Structure 1
Amino acid sequence: MKKSLKEIHEYWKNNSYPEKYRVATERSIFLLSYIEKYIQTNQRILEIGCNVGRNLHHLFENNYKELTGIEISQEAVEQLHKNYPDLAEHTDIIHASAESVLKHMEQDHYDLVFTMAVLEHIHPDSEWLFDHIARITKSYLITFEAENYEHWRIFPRDYRGIFEDLGFEQVEEATGESARLPNYTLRIFKKTNLK
């Protein structure tokens, strides 16, 4: 049964499962192996839907310090502060929906924007967010999403087509098998006006 945008937001505000997400460290290791190929430790990185901050913490522990996260769940943000106090102190964690934040962010502000199992939950009424993701991304964009699975809170999409239409070129693709997410696809996009 189709759910409204408000119902999707309410679900994720109240069902973020931060303890479950915190322990899946092989996913963060997998992600870092790609990020470090393209992004220097002094460059600005945004994670949309950071949950408890596991991915950001792994980056922080590997000397990435210019980090920002957006998270809709208050519980996840509280658990981030509790579990990763150093990260919380040195990172800009924005407690809000992506819809309320991205449209106000500066163009080309982040050298890398990435998502892990987040864009798949963006309601069709909010697909305008993809324009803003493209706008605020200066250099690289990474999506790691279930592209073909369908569920009341998962919306299948062709991320390659979406972001290539928005001025990006896909430069790498991988399955999530080594991160124990075999039905997920990692895509790395480079902004086409990037030298």
Structure 2
Amino acid sequence: MKKKVFLSVLIGALVLFAAACGNNQNDKQTVPIDSKSTYKSVYSKSVFLGDSLLIGLEDVLEDSNVISNAGATALFALNEVDKIANKKPENVFILLGSDDLLWPVDNPIEDSLINYTKLIEEIKGKLPKTKVHVLSVTPVTKEAMKVEPRYKNITDYNKALEKMAVREKVNFIDLSPIFEKHQNLYNKDGIHFTANFYPLLLDHIEKYIDSSTNNGEVSNEL
């Protein structure tokens, strides 16, 4: 019995690793320097927390504004709360869940949302004046879904994620309009993105930036 449990965990870990490593296949493209300067200014007091889907954002924003780890789940992200708190951001944008859906537990969605809730509450506890924004898990291509059928649960996960956001009184930001309006954003694995995605992401969520709600009391130490 112990061998079976160990094997299941090992297989799950390997799947997560494979999904995370797909990010290495990103096509190298360049965001115009002027655009980078604008985005860095707009998001200078924001922190993005996520898995490997956000790694490409480091090429657009300052490294200090992005905390992204390959294979990260809501559980693992709890280890980053102190790091976020030390930065004293006015906004925290969270993109997690893609790897949570692959975690080898009986109910990945339920398990993930328990930890996601803890994550939000810990951030709010340390940064009561900071606005927290939860981003929906991004869709994958049909080809990627054939390789990993568990991605079919993305829609259900996002519905549960939105309910959690309402319950925790934080913003839920649906990213699906980006993919409805734009094509060819994926790299070869059908999960991660080319550089073209990240400016679209930042443009899509910019309206949620409102530092005035903090009355200027949150300093920028990013």
Bin for the TM-score computed over the shorter chain: 0.5 to 0.7
Encode CA deviations 1:24-68: one digit per residue, 9 max, x unaligned: 769x99xx99x95xx8443241331136821222223xxx74332
| Structure 1 residue aligned with 2:162 | 160
Q: Check whether the contact 1:25–1:54 (CA below 8 A) recurs between aligned residues.
A: no
The answer to which structure, 1 or 2, has the higher relative contact order (CA under 8 A, 6+ apart) is: 2
The structure 2 residue matched to 1:132, chosen from 118, 129, 134, is: 118
Q: 1:112 aligns to what SS in structure 2? A: strand
2-side partners of 1:179 and 1:59: how far apart? 23
SS of 2:153's equivalent in the other structure is coil
Tell me: CA distance 1:97–1:122, structure 2 relative to 1, closer, same or farther (3 Å).
closer
Q: What secondary structure, in the 3-state scheme, does the structure 2 residue paired with 1:42 have?
A: coil
Query: Higher strand proportion, which one?
Result: 1
Is the Cα contact below 8 Å between 1:50 and 1:56 reproduced in 2? no
2:75 maps to what in 1?
Answer: 99
* CA 1:103–1:66: 2 relative to 1, 3 Å: closer
| Counterpart for residue 114 of structure 1 | 94
TM-score, length-scaled by structure 2: 0.48
> Which runs of 5 or more residues in structure 1 are unaligned?
73-95
In the superposition, relative to structure 1, how do residues 113 and 7 fare at CA in structure 2: closer, same or farther (>3 Å)?
Answer: farther
Asked whether the equivalents of residues 122 and 155 of structure 1 are also in contact (C-alpha less than 8 Å), the reply is: no
Q: With the length of structure 1 as denominator, give the TM-score of the two structures.
A: 0.53
What is residue 17 of structure 1 aligned with on the other side? 22
* Higher gyration radius (CA): 2
Determine what percentage of the aligned residue pairs are the same residue. 8
Equivalent residues of 2:136, 2:173 under 8 A apart:
no
- Assess if the C-alpha contact under 8 Å between 1:134 and 1:163 holds in 2: no
Q: Secondary structure at the match of 1:119?
A: coil
Deviation (angstroms), 1:133: 3.7
The Cα shift of 1:166 comes to 1.5
Residue 141 (structure 1) shift = 1.7
Task: Please give the alpha-carbon distance, in whole angstroms, between the structure 2 residues aligned to 1:106 and 1:24.
Answer: 32
Contact 2:47 2:84 in 1 (8 A): no
TM-aligned CA deviation for residue 97 of structure 1: 5.2
Q: 1:121 & 1:17 partners in 2: Cα distance?
A: 12
**Are the structure 2 counterparts of residues 19 and 172 from structure 1 closer, same or farther at C-alpha, using a change threshold of 3 Å?**
closer
Bigger share in helix: 2
Q: Quote the Cα distance in structure 1 between the aligned partners of 2:93 and 2:67.
A: 10
1:117-169 C-alpha deviation (Å, 9 max, x unpaired): x5133131332222134232631425142479972255332132221112114
Q: Which residue of 1 aligns with 2:196?
A: none
Secondary structure in 1 matching 2:150? coil
**1:146, 1:69 → 2: CA distance?**
15
